[in-house]
Structure 1
Amino acid sequence: MLNWLLVFVPVTFALEHFAPDRYLLLFASAALAILPPACCARGSSPKSCPSRSATAT
């Protein structure tokens, strides 16, 4: 569900390289990029984190 937000990881790197002076945009992009890994790390259900459902048996 949140996996589409992972597109902001490369966007954040590109912004950091090409527009380092756009602090607010860089921060917003990084904040959106961290949501899917944070969801998985907090111990969410396997339904909301597909990568964990493959390992949970």
Structure 2
Amino acid sequence: MGLDLINGIPAHVLLVHIVVVLVPLTALALILCAALPSAMAGSDSHCRFLPWCP
């Protein structure tokens, strides 16, 4: 028994698409934060593009 369906949609499809979308977006946000110091201006040592980051 495993995780086959999430709200009637095959779990594999959802999980793969979550990874395919979130990993590049996170990498892009981190690159922006590293390349543009102004992206970090006004924040307490974390990037404005990643507000959920502590």
TM-score, length basis structure 2: 0.32
The structure, 1 or 2, with the larger RCO (C-alpha pairs under 8 Å, 6+ apart) is: 1
Greater Cα radius of gyration, structure 1 or 2: 2
Higher strand share: 2
